[in-house]
Amino acid sequence: MMPSTEVANKVREAINALKGADLQDPRLGEVLNLASQMSEAMRIFFSSIDRTLFDEMRYISSYIQRTRSEISNLRPTDLSEDRIPTAGAELHAVVEHTAEATNLIMAVAEDVMGADTSDPDAYQAYVSEKMMEVFEACTFQDITGQRIKKVVETLTHIEQRLERFANVMGVEDAELEETPEDRRKRENLLNGPALNGPEVEQDDIDLMFGTDDAAMNQNDLDAMFD
Amino acid sequence: MAVDMNAPVLVVDDYQTMVRIIRNLLKQLGFENVDEAADGREALEKMKAKKYGLVISDWNMEPMTGYELLREVRGDELLKPTPFIMVTAESKTENVIAAKKAGVNNYIVKPFNAQTLKAKIASVLGDF
């Protein structure tokens, strides 16, 4: 079959040639034939467009349905209204409980340090009584341990659901834009406490600040960046 | 030169518990004249109003960090000579080096003990 553009050109040529001709001209038949071919070509062209669009729309619809289903599996309402607030409340309770215990222990220590020592027997009895308060305050550890375990379980739960979602949807990490808060943290080197103890031990820091031969000078410090 | 145990010490930390711990340790070491500030900005205001013999500061505080306080102090002709010890959980090499370059006199990583605090104060002020 002739390409549609070629058919259209031929029709245009034929029409131009026919201008002024009478209706008995045999070329009229040729024009009608070409018009018919063009009509057929256009029909096939538009039906292919319809089919492609239909397939595309069906794919998008299916993708949206799958996304809705996966988001539903994430149970976002459960996360935002129950699990995350509960985890936050647990951590808040841990902070409060540890602060309470620490303050109690420090108050006991301050009382003992300021106690009257003139009567050894009375002082010993007083210290023993105060030490019992310290033991009692230390019971916070068991409760905070249980609370933190619940928070860790929640985080693991969220991590697993998000990981599954990302895998199913083929999601890849986007480039993150630095927020003003991120920038402040970077500029002020706000890294927070390191896991498993300090990254640089106190002894190594002492070497940097010491005055003996083993101490690091500025060049040594600079060399750590090279 | 003998250490002036009456010289005021400024403890800068946003955790009241830590301030209380350091205050008690300083008291045990013989430093009775201790002031407190909850962040760098408050500390800077206090330092401009009163001469301190020593500043012991945390790093991670808002709105002004201990690192920013250190740089402000070292950039101010009047405050510049004030001994400055950083007591912080920031233990990355880059933190220690940045503090050293900014002019900190000593650096203590949390958690710390009384002996470490005493040793670092002695290294900055002299034996007492």
Residues B95-107 have a mean pLDDT of 95
Distance between CA B94 and CA A198 in Å, rounded? Answer: 13
Determine the pLDDT at residue B1. Answer: 65
Question: Is residue A1 predicted with pLDDT exceeding 70?
Answer: no
Name chain A contacts of B98, Cβ cutoff 8 Å. 189
Query: CA nearest B105: which of A206, A72, A112, A105?
Result: A206
Domain contains A112: yes
Question: Is residue A105 predicted with pLDDT exceeding 90?
Answer: yes
Distance between CA A92 and CA B67 in Å, rounded? Answer: 28
Strands B9-12 and B84-88 turn out to be unpaired
Residues A118-132 have a mean pLDDT of 95
- Cβ–Cβ below 8 Å for A191 and B92: yes
Q: What is the total count of domains within chain A?
A: 2
CB pairs under 8 A between A and B: 76
What three-state secondary structure class fits A9? helix
Q: Could you write out the three-class secondary structure of A45-80?
A: HHHHHHHHHHHHHHHHHHHHHHHHHHHHHHCHHHHH
Q: Which residue of B has its CA nearest to A202?
A: B109
Which of B39 and A37 is assigned the larger pLDDT? B39
Q: Enter the tokens of residue A205.
A: 């820091």
Which of B1 and A152 is assigned the larger pLDDT? A152
Question: Is residue B110 predicted with pLDDT exceeding 80?
Answer: yes
What three-state secondary structure class fits A1? coil
Q: Enter the tokens of residue A218.
A: 């500025």
Q: Enter the tokens of residue B40.
A: 């760098």
Q: Where among A49, A71, A93 does a domain terminate? A: A71
Q: What is the mean pLDDT of chain A?
A: 84
Same domain, A81 and A156: yes
Determine the pLDDT at residue B85. Answer: 97
Q: How is domain B15-91+102-110 classified at the CATH fold level?
A: Rossmann fold (3.40.50)
Determine the pLDDT at residue A174. Answer: 87
DSSP-derived secondary structure for B60-91:
--SSS-HHHHHHHHHTSTTTTTS-EEEEES--
Taking only the tens place, the pLDDT of each residue in A189-201 is 998 888 877 888 8
Binning pLDDT at 50, 70 and 90, where does residue A169 land?
confident
Name chain B contacts of A188, Cβ cutoff 8 Å. 65, 67-68
What domain range is A10 assigned to? 4-71
φ, ψ for residue B38, nearest 5 deg: -95, -10
Binning pLDDT at 50, 70 and 90, where does residue A223 land?
low
Determine the pLDDT at residue A33. Answer: 83
Sign of CA dihedral B44, B46, B51, B55: negative
φ, ψ for residue B105, nearest 5 deg: -85, -35
Binning pLDDT at 50, 70 and 90, where does residue A225 land?
very low
Mutation site, A106, A206, A209, A226, interface B, largest B CB count within 10 A: A209
Residues 6+ apart with CB under 8 A from A164: A73
- The continuous run of DSSP H or E covering B37 comes out as strand B34-37
Taking only the tens place, the pLDDT of each residue in A53-84 is 888 888 999 989 888 888 888 888 888 888 99
Same domain, A58 and A110: no
List the beta bridge partners of residue B86.
B57, B107
Question: Is residue A7 predicted with pLDDT exceeding 80?
Answer: no
Phi-psi category of B28—alpha, beta or left, where left has phi over 0 and alpha has psi -120 to 50? alpha
Mutation site, B90, B118, B127, interface A, largest A CB count within 10 A: B90
Residues A24-44 have a mean pLDDT of 80
Name chain A contacts of B28, Cβ cutoff 8 Å. 113
Domain ranges for chain B: 15-91+102-110
CB-nearest to A99 from B17, B21, B67 is B17
Name chain B contacts of A193, Cβ cutoff 8 Å. 89-91, 110
Name chain B contacts of A198, Cβ cutoff 8 Å. 89, 91, 109
CB-nearest to A202 from B89, B100, B109 is B109
Q: Which residue of B has its CA nearest to A96?
A: B17
Mutation site, B24, B86, B93, B124, interface A, largest A CB count within 10 A: B93
Whole-model pTM? 0.71
Q: What percent of chain A has pLDDT over 70?
A: 86
What three-state secondary structure class fits B126? coil
Question: Is residue B32 predicted with pLDDT exceeding 80?
Answer: yes
Taking only the tens place, the pLDDT of each residue in A131-166 is 999 999 988 888 899 999 999 999 999 999 999 888
Same domain, A52 and A119: no
Q: Where among A46, A71, A96 does a domain terminate? A: A71
Domain contains A109: yes
Question: Is residue A214 predicted with pLDDT exceeding 50?
Answer: no
Same domain, A11 and A32: yes
Same domain, A80 and A144: yes
Q: What is the mean pLDDT of chain B?
A: 94
Domain contains A179: no
How far is A125 from chain B, CA to nearest CA, in Å? 23
Q: Where among A125, A140, A172 does a domain terminate? A: A172
- Cβ–Cβ below 8 Å for B107 and A189: no
Name chain B contacts of A208, Cβ cutoff 8 Å. 96-97, 100, 107
Distance between CA B69 and CA B84 in Å, rounded? Answer: 10
Distance between CA A72 and CA A210 in Å, rounded? Answer: 60
